[in-house]
Every structure is written in C-alpha cells, then in structure tokens.
Structure 1
C-alpha cells in the first residue's frame, strides 16, 4: 500500500498529499484520512481517464480481436473485464497497473466465499438468492476458459494454473463487485463542466444508476442480468485511488466527479483533521452491504433498537399470487392471474415487492398489486382494456380482502426464517460470536424487524374503527346507535 500513491503520481495522477493520506482502520481495512482540516469543494486527487482500468483502456481486447471477443461472449456482462484484470496481473511489471492490482485485496468476507454452513445463517434473507456463485462459475468455464485456451500466445500455458484459475476469477470478480465505477465515454456535445458520477447510488437502482459501485454480472440473480447485459460493459471501470475510500451510511463527505480527461474526488463538506474521508455506496441495506462488501452498518434507530435505517425486505410477488390461488376468490383462475401479472410487469417492471425500514404506511405498490390480483372478472376486463393498474389505496369494496392477503403474505415471508427475532437478539449479545455469524444475524434480524413492523401496521388498519364498521356491514349487522346522554 505504501507504493500506491507514488505509483499513482508516476502515472499522471495528482494527489494533494498535504491534506489526503491513506490509513488502516480497524475492521475496515485501508481507507482515506484527512491530514489537515479540509474545506468543502476541495479537490483531493485527480485520476486520468487513461489510468482507469476497463475493457476500453486495456490492450487485451485489441490484441484478442473484437470479433473473437464477441465470439466468446466476452462483451457481455463482466467476464471481459475480469479477463483483462487477470491478464494485466499475469504481466506483472510489464503492466502499468501492476502496483495498483497488487494493492487490491485478495481476501473477502462476502458470502461468495462462505462455507455452506456459514450460508445457512443467511437462510430466509434476500442475500442467498443473489450470490450467484453457480452463474459466475458458468461464465468462467463457458467464456473465459475457452477464450484463454484459444490464444496461447496471449495467455501463456505456464501461466494458466497461476493467473487464470477459478479462484483468481472469483477474486477479480469480487474486486469489481466492491470497487468498480461506471465511467461513461465523455459526451463532447454536452456543455463543458464537471458531471457527477460519485457513488451516490439510489438503493433501489444500484444496477442502473450512473457512476457508482456496480453489481457483477454472474454474481447476480438472473432477474437483473437482462438489464446488465443491455448496458455497455465498457463503461465499467476500476478507478485507482477513488476506490480506496470506504463508505458508511450517512457519512459521505466526498464525491467523484468526471471531466473530459480526468476524474476528480471533491469534498462535499468540511472534514476535520484525522477524520476518515468517506465516499458513498448509496444508502444500501445491510443485505447488499454484506453481499458486495462483506460488512454491515449498525446504528441506533429512531424507533428504538439497532440496525441500518436503509434496510429493506423483499417479498417475491409469487408469495401473494399463491395465496390468491389457494382461495380462488371470485373465480380467479391461474390463467387470468398470469395475464394480470403480465400487465403488472409491463407497467411496473417489478416481480418483487420491496418494503423499506422507514415505510410509515403499507407500500403503495404492494396495495396496487394485491388489488390487481383480487379484481373481479368484470373489473379485470376494464383494467385490461385500459392497460391500467388499480390505484394504490384501500377501498370499501376490497380493502378488507387486500389487507388479509397482505397480512398472510407478510407472515409467509416471515415464516421463511428458521428462528425468531428474539433468538437473534439473544445470539447478538454473545461477545464471542464469529464476525460472519454476527453479520448474518444482523441482516436477518433487520429483515424480520421490518416484516414485524409492517404486520403491526396492517393489524392496526384491520382493527381500526372504520374497518370494524365495514366488517359489521359485510356481516349484515346493524350499526350500534350512539346513546343519548341523560340530563
């Protein structure tokens, strides 16, 4: 790590070494530190675009040939960038990125590298389905291995067992997953000036938002692969020096901006001497922080307890579909439900309902989706003709049924966890708990907390005076008359 800044400067990078330094932080690894008080708007360093490592800047693609590159599908997803990084690493001192690659971590605490027993601790969370280890290894064997064997002049046979192994593939993929940025080509038609590409990613759009740490194709669930493949894989780049900054929820004080020839890290608020310089990965939930970076964020929460304010829980839409099918309301058939789901996907694009920790009410999308499933045949024909989803509000006609389906669906999702939240809290009180176990418990407890809170909100709505009145009307009961006060 001592050689990183000298190498960076030797390659045309500019660093304000009077204010900006590197330090090792307990539990976080290496990061950036303010050596002096730094004002807002201060440029900490500038990275030349030519120093970013991508399939565009690496010579391998030209040497391999773009047609052959496409033949092995290396232009799809991130397999091509991983291969570029493996090739550059194999060149050792002949690669201009040698010192940079040597500074990157080779050990990760992410679930990609957990044992089967350790992964059991994440049972029920949304993390397990997104690790994508099998998909990553399929890319390695179906794309990278055939490409490497086809060009022994570029990938020396004596290098194969050292630089091009599955283990190195996973390491390079994890480096990309945790450290890469989207660096688009400079659009000369735009006005001159700085354009933000910092890691300020919307947590709901981490795969699409410009300029942040990215998801690795092959380490994602298949649901996102189409979106990833439709983007230009050449935009994904490793950005030396920018990726050394750590991140923590709500702590960011610097941001990456790009210009025509360079990328600049600029402070977004004053930073005191000795403080860590933070970028942001977006306000990500602990499930994503653990999957990508191998850590979690824990804070005191406004409503009591501890957790990450950005936590979410994902409920697959088919949980609610199966519930509706099981009771077959109003003659709704499986075929009709498929049509309704197609309309939902066309109009919303989501097959997963997301509930956020800070949701004060039932998410509108969840209400709209369940209402769509429960439409009478006549109302469905009208909705289909208009290609319009139901409004996200509880009505007198279907409000009780909607609440009942939502409650059952949330309970089913909660039941996927093998332990209770009380059991999780008891485990977290143990001082000798291994870090991986602790992180897994924090993630699953966070998801359970959200589900339990939302179930309470649904219960309050079901038991509200207005709802009780609706129940009596539906049961044919006479509304109780208000008693006159005696005088």
Structure 2
C-alpha cells in the first residue's frame, strides 16, 4: 500500500489546474483524526484556501469511462453509486489518469464497521448502526450491476485485476461514503433537464448526485468547530473574494475560511453535526468532546465524573412500529387506520430523540402518540383532517416511557460496562462502539428522567384540582 504523500497530492492538484493557497495552509496528521489541514499563518475570515475547477471533479460524466461504454452498458449502472464506483476503479487503473495523484493518496484501509469482523460488529447490537452497515447490500449491488459488465468487457476490465475486484468495490464505496460531496447534477457534468412544476406551481429542485472533490475531502470535521466551507462559484461573491489577494477562479468550488483561524489551528470543514453513530458508520471515528451543560444537566452528580464526554449531536432513532406496539398495549382499536392517516398527512415513520430542553416532549412524536391513544383526537382527525396538538398527558407519558424502555432493552451491555470499555485502553473498535452506545443511552436515560418530572407535574396539578374541588364543595356547604 502506498503511503500518503502530501507533496504528491498538492503537486497533482496544481497540475490539474486547481489553485492551492500554499501560504495559508498545509496538510499534516492529527491524533485520532488522520490527515487534515492546518493554518500555516493567521487566516482571516473569507480567505480562499483552494479552488477546484469543474473539470477536476471526479464524477461519472468527467471520467473518460463513459466514452468506452455503449448506452445500454452505461444505463445498466444507473442507480446508487455503481457508476461513480466503476469510474473511480477505472481511473485508478489508468497510469495517465489526471486523478492519479488524488486516487493513489486516498486511504485503502478504514476503521468503519464495513471492514470490521463479526465479533466487532456484534458490539453494535441495539445501536442505530446495527442494520445500516450495508456490506451485504453493497456486495449484492456489485454482483448484480458490475460483475456482468466486467465479464462482458474484458477489453476494458482485465480479468483478475485488483482494480475491479469486490474488495476494490468496497474500498471505493467507502471512499465515497466518507469523502464525497453532493452537488447539483448539472455541476457534475450530468444531463440537465427542464424543471417541472409540482401541484403548487413550484419548480422541482434539480437532482443532486454524489461526486468526489479533490482536496476538499482532506479537511476534517468536528461538532461545532467548523471554520471553513466549500462554496460554489457565485454562491456568495463577498465571501469568495476574501479580504486579501483577489483571484478570478472561474467555474468550480472554492474552500473559504468562515472565521478567523489562528496559526497552528486545524481547519475544519462545515458539516451537519452528525451523531457518533453516523460518524462511525461513515468515517470510522467518533467525537469524544466535553459536553455542554444543557446535555449534562439531567445527569446525576455521580455520573458527571464518568460520563461528561461524547457528541452533543447524538440522537436515537425510534421506529414508528415501536410506538404503535406500545400504544397497542393500551388496547387501542384500528391502529392501522390511524397510522395510515398519519402517513397520508406527511408524518414520519421514524422519530429521532435528541438532547432537548423539552426532553423530547415536542413534535412530531407527541401528536403521533395522541393520534394512537386519544379517541377524541382520532375523531377530530377524521372529521377535520388535522393532526392532534402536542399536549402532553398521562397517556402520552405512559406510551413514551414504554417506548424508551423498549428501545433501551435492545442493548446487551449495561451502562457501567460501556463506561469501562469507553474509558479503557482496549481495541479501538470496541471503544468506538461503546461511545456510540453511551451517547444513545444518555439520551434515553435523560428522556426517562424528564418523563418522571412530567409525571410529578401532572400529579401536582391533579392534587391542586382535587384540593380546589374540596374547597369549592366546602364553601357551598357553608353557604
């Protein structure tokens, strides 16, 4: 395996017509994060860091592979990432590819669960990743789409070549999963179609596709640390111009600092603050940062010493079926009709629990529970065609508590065992899996504590109503 060579990557980047700000940034390794970008000097906000022209994006339409395939062969690769993966295989197999320097400096080994053994993957049981690793689906796609074309076109894809093997397919797929960007298909060089209007007269948005953008994928990301962002040309003229030297880059994408960055600081790209489950699934690492007070507020004093780190963007997915099962235990009728109504109104079939000041007692989960459990709400929904409001009552609390406990029961390990693994010196995969479990369990534990608080509130209100009723009756007797 060829070791990563930053000088080779930058040289090939410039040779392809891209621009790189040598004075502002450099590539360097970071502990537990692999290679990334560092500021070589103080960088002002709105400073261009590098620019990639459109023809240096690696997409199915910029690769030369398409010119060697028939239309039928090209169409056989439609759907998913099959086209992009085969184009990356093809370009990496060619000695004269303009993406040669880019591809030979991309990783071939990953810490993501796709490459874990069965024992390590078992550590993800109960987590949101468990059924989303996708290895079996990827292999089925390879055998269904690529294998027939590879066999039929040995003139392009030599039999036995390591570049077109199933292992290579997994490598290229993992590169796309962890490093690709999604952009409008017209910017990727793909076919442009006339926009169609929907029922409301609004134009449909242009299709977006996954592409590889050299150098942009070298920047790491971490929760709430972003200080740079990739801009399309013309997207924000003021920011693209920067405060220093002016550049006329032409069409393409420019990485621009969005904040002042100190010398020696890492340059982080903007991202959508994914939970640790997604970070591990896509990138093979987790965030283990100090958590803000609004996240740790519901932890007990004895927990703060051992459970203060993680990812503030964590979440737990709750399947709608779990909610229906908990509601059905209360003896509801026609659950199927209620669920169909919910879905027809645009409701979700999966709900995300997060760190929330309301303790996840806000839309859309509460209206769904009320629709399932409250006969008045169900009757109004049928007559008026409206979903229930987010009013929390005893039935909502009971169902949500049952849902949270059922979701928590899916983990084989205890919280104490997770803490011991996450804070230990054991294998990396085991520690990362424990971090994912802990982040999800922290949300479930916090939600249960909020529910207990809500129970106390309802009991207090009920007590006041009863006391008020007694006083009113006593007053009437006195009168």
Same-fold call, TM cutoff 0.5: yes
Offset at 1:419?
A: 2.0
In 1, the alpha carbon distance for the partners of 2:470 and 2:317 equals 42
**Distance change >3 Å, CA 479–CA 441, structure 1 → 2:** farther
1:64 equivalent among 69, 77, 81: 69
Match of 1:204 in 2: none
Offset at 1:354?
A: 0.6
Offset at 1:479?
A: 5.2
1:348 equivalent among 346, 353, 366: 346
In 1, the alpha carbon distance for the partners of 2:68 and 2:469 equals 82
Is 1:42 aligned with 2:47?
yes
In 2, the alpha carbon distance for the partners of 1:120 and 1:268 equals 41
**Distance change >3 Å, CA 55–CA 47, structure 1 → 2:** same
Offset at 1:379?
A: 4.4
**Distance change >3 Å, CA 385–CA 62, structure 1 → 2:** farther
Offset at 1:416?
A: 1.1
3-state secondary structure, aligned to 1:463: helix
In 1, the alpha carbon distance for the partners of 2:347 and 2:79 equals 22
In 1, the alpha carbon distance for the partners of 2:277 and 2:160 equals 40
Offset at 1:469?
A: 4.6
Offset at 1:271?
A: 1.0
Is 1:288 aligned with 2:262?
no
Matched-pair contact (CA < 8 Å) for 2:370–2:377: no
Match of 1:119 in 2: 121
Match of 1:380 in 2: 378
Offset at 1:381?
A: 4.2
Is 1:270 aligned with 2:260?
yes
Of 272-281 and 41-50, more deviation after overlay is shown by: 272-281
Offset at 1:317?
A: 1.0
Is 1:76 aligned with 2:79?
yes
Matched-pair contact (CA < 8 Å) for 1:364–1:393: no
Offset at 1:16?
A: 1.1
Q: Which runs of 5+ in 1 are unaligned?
A: 188-229
Is 1:357 aligned with 2:360?
no
Match of 2:444 in 1: 451
Matched-pair contact (CA < 8 Å) for 1:400–1:467: no
Offset at 1:298?
A: 1.4
In 2, the alpha carbon distance for the partners of 1:186 and 1:45 equals 22
Matched-pair contact (CA < 8 Å) for 2:377–2:388: no
In 1, the alpha carbon distance for the partners of 2:73 and 2:384 equals 47
Matched-pair contact (CA < 8 Å) for 1:469–1:479: no
Offset at 1:342?
A: 2.0
Matched-pair contact (CA < 8 Å) for 1:20–1:34: yes
Offset at 1:358?
A: 3.3
Offset at 1:63?
A: 2.1
Offset at 1:167?
A: 0.8
Match of 2:301 in 1: none
Match of 2:428 in 1: 435
**Distance change >3 Å, CA 359–CA 141, structure 1 → 2:** farther
**Distance change >3 Å, CA 472–CA 150, structure 1 → 2:** farther
Matched-pair contact (CA < 8 Å) for 2:184–2:206: no
**Distance change >3 Å, CA 78–CA 359, structure 1 → 2:** farther
Q: 4+ runs of 1 displaced by more than 6 Å? A: none
**Distance change >3 Å, CA 56–CA 104, structure 1 → 2:** same
In 2, the alpha carbon distance for the partners of 1:62 and 1:346 equals 45
TM-score (normalised: structure 1): 0.82
In 2, the alpha carbon distance for the partners of 1:349 and 1:380 equals 15
Is 1:257 aligned with 2:256?
no
Match of 1:23 in 2: 28
Is 1:401 aligned with 2:395?
yes
